[in-house]
Amino acid sequence: MSRRVNFVTQPDDYRHWQLRIAAPFAYLELDVDEQGGWFDGYELKLNSYDIGVDIELADVVQRLRFEHPEVKAVLLGSARLGTFCAGANIRMLGSASHAHKVNFCKFTNETRNTIEDATRNSGQTYIAAINGTAAGGGFELALAAEKILLVDDGKAAVSLPEIPMLAVLPGTGGLTRLVDKRRVRRDIADVFCTLEEGMQGLRALKAGLVDETIPSSRFQARCQTVLEELVADSDPTVAVGVVLPQLEKNISEDAINYSHVNVRIDRDKRCTHLTINGPETTVADSVQDAKRSDFWPLLVMRELDDAILELRFNELEIGTILLYTKGVSADVLGYDAFLHSNQDDWFAREVQLYIARVLSRVDLTSRSIFARIEPDSCFSGFLAELAFAADRSYMLEGQFEDRTNEQAAMLSLSASNFGSYPMVNGLSRLQVRFLGAPTALTNAQASIGIQLQAVAAEDAGLITAALDNIDYEDELRMVIEERAGFSPDALTAMEANLRFAGPETMESKIFSRLSAWQNWIFQRPNAVGENGALGLFGTGQRPHFDKARV
């Protein structure tokens, strides 16, 4: 598996999904091209999926939110009679590297969360119409929907067969959604997850796995009725969406450049310098004028999102991300205030929700992240969230000796830093930062709108350290070299444990418990060894399990 994973796509390039809009409804059907696998060596039979199928799904969900605000309900189904989705392709998983398997599951989880976020916050409710077998990741896809309708034809079934068949966990949120979202009793869930054949019809309904079972003769009609019931009380939207053009980027051996985001890779030091450039123009006078695909917060977040995914999947040995911003803080704060004051408008709301999702993607990325707050930077408003997402943040006191014409480094907070962009645990990054210091959080709120220089930011607890011109570069050099010498596995575990202090939510469980255990299981011989279940699947040979409980 050597092909670079590219997350940029558009509807004309889709090979696996069919989308039809009939406002206020959208009909999204999975119709996987069996020969359209992202890598060589497997066929995507039975509507099974790989990263390419998921990239298209993520793009569809994003475009529905921005391009079709008139859509209120989405019917998620299959174009294949008798087959909804067979889940992640087993041949692909068997041949994929460990890193790809883990990153693939994480990206898939993030896409499922985006579907739920659209239902919860964007008024686009997803309904799963299971017209056949939904196994493993296929059923997990349905679990992301608000309601699940199952055809009752004596053959269609839902299942999570990973444990009995593959010696792995349902890796894209299935276990967590069963008990946290659908409230399936744990003993019933235990039975269900160990049944290779799953459950059909009335049994699935009684277990709480689906919301309705419907005979074949009435299935399509009932699905349409459920959609109509969902939107009966919703306000009609006459807004015109914003078309998202294909993202432009230039990739070279050691760099990825976008219009507002630049990535420079230092392979010797195993780090990347990721710079986010502030707006070149001030914010529009009205929301209507702002509704453009090149609206700076929307475009810069699309580019940052893609850059993070590029680093996750294609630059595995680059262990540290150094975050920079460059621009005018006042201009960033202008856009920030514009979004905050126009939250009642669908476009401003969607941009803020997207910023939250991208920031969450940063939180969940297994890289050491250091923010470098330097002269002429603009860590302000929602860009300040990146400094709080970082594992450490270093701020220069004053100016560099050879760059005295630059404005001293500043950090500026806004109202959006106190709840507009929650982490997966439901808290703002500042709430997590000051979990044991409520007074510090109150003091931080009192500094909204104030440009804090290095010493003031350090005194307020908003950065890790303020360093003068003499120590700054040497300190950062030592930190980067130290990080490169540590075990990447130990660092990932440490960072993931430290980043999400506070309460658990369904989302935090998916990315902490589930991802951690799936990561571990994917390395165990019971799953991926020479006699493991994943490698022997379909050969007729029985796997050999090490029976020791570890």
Mean pLDDT of 105-127: 96
The contacts of residue 426 (CB under 8 Å, 6+ apart) are 502, 503, 505, 508
Q: Where are the alpha helices (DSSP H) in 27-182?
A: 51-67, 90-95, 98-121, 137-143, 162-166, 174-176
The proportion of the chain whose per-residue pLDDT surpasses 70, expressed as a percent, equals 99
pLDDT band at residue 536 using 50, 70 and 90 as cut-offs: confident
pLDDT band at residue 1 using 50, 70 and 90 as cut-offs: low
Beta bridge partners of 252: 255
pLDDT band at residue 238 using 50, 70 and 90 as cut-offs: low
Structure tokens at 232: 């009966």
> What confidence score (pLDDT) does residue 437 get?
93
Beta bridge partners of 13: none
Nearest Cα neighbor of 103 from 530, 525, 518 is 518
> What confidence score (pLDDT) does residue 142 get?
98
**What element of type H or E holds 331?**
helix 329-341
Nearest Cα neighbor of 138 from 119, 120, 157 is 157
User: β-pairing, 261-266 with 271-277?
Assistant: antiparallel
The proportion of the chain whose per-residue pLDDT surpasses 90, expressed as a percent, equals 85
Domains in the chain (CATH in brackets) are 11-231 (3.90.226.10), 250-488 (3.90.226.10)
Distance, CA of 82 to CA of 473 (rounded, Å): 62
| DSSP conformation class of 77 | E
Residues 55 and 108: beta-carbon distance below 8 Å: no
pLDDT band at residue 501 using 50, 70 and 90 as cut-offs: very high
Q: What is the mean pLDDT of the chain?
A: 94
Q: What is the per-residue pLDDT across 184-215, written as a single tens digit (0 to 9) for each?
A: 999 999 999 999 999 999 999 999 999 999 99
The angle formed by the CA atoms of residues 160, 161 and 163, to the nearest 5 degrees, is 110
Q: What is the per-residue pLDDT across 421-459, written as a single tens digit (0 to 9) for each?
A: 999 999 999 999 999 999 999 999 999 999 999 999 999
Q: In what side-by-side order are the strands of the sheet with 147-152?
A: 17-22, 25-30, 73-78, 125-130, 147-152, 212-215
> What confidence score (pLDDT) does residue 333 get?
96
> What confidence score (pLDDT) does residue 406 get?
80
The contacts of residue 472 (CB under 8 Å, 6+ apart) are 394, 396
Radius of gyration of the chain (CA): 24
Residues 140 and 165: beta-carbon distance below 8 Å: no
Distance, CA of 72 to CA of 119 (rounded, Å): 9
Q: Which of 27-31, 330-334, 399-403 has the lowest mean pLDDT?
A: 399-403
Collapsing DSSP to helix, strand or coil, 73 comes out as: strand
> What confidence score (pLDDT) does residue 236 get?
66
Collapsing DSSP to helix, strand or coil, 370 comes out as: strand
Q: What is the per-residue pLDDT across 290-322, written as a single tens digit (0 to 9) for each?
A: 999 999 999 999 999 999 999 999 999 999 999
pLDDT band at residue 517 using 50, 70 and 90 as cut-offs: confident
Mean pLDDT of 371-386: 97
Residues 508 and 109: beta-carbon distance below 8 Å: no
The angle formed by the CA atoms of residues 173, 529 and 167, to the nearest 5 degrees, is 35
Whether residue 467 is predicted with pLDDT greater than 90 in this model: the reply is yes
Q: How far is CA 337 from CA 308, 348, 413, in A?
A: 26, 11, 11
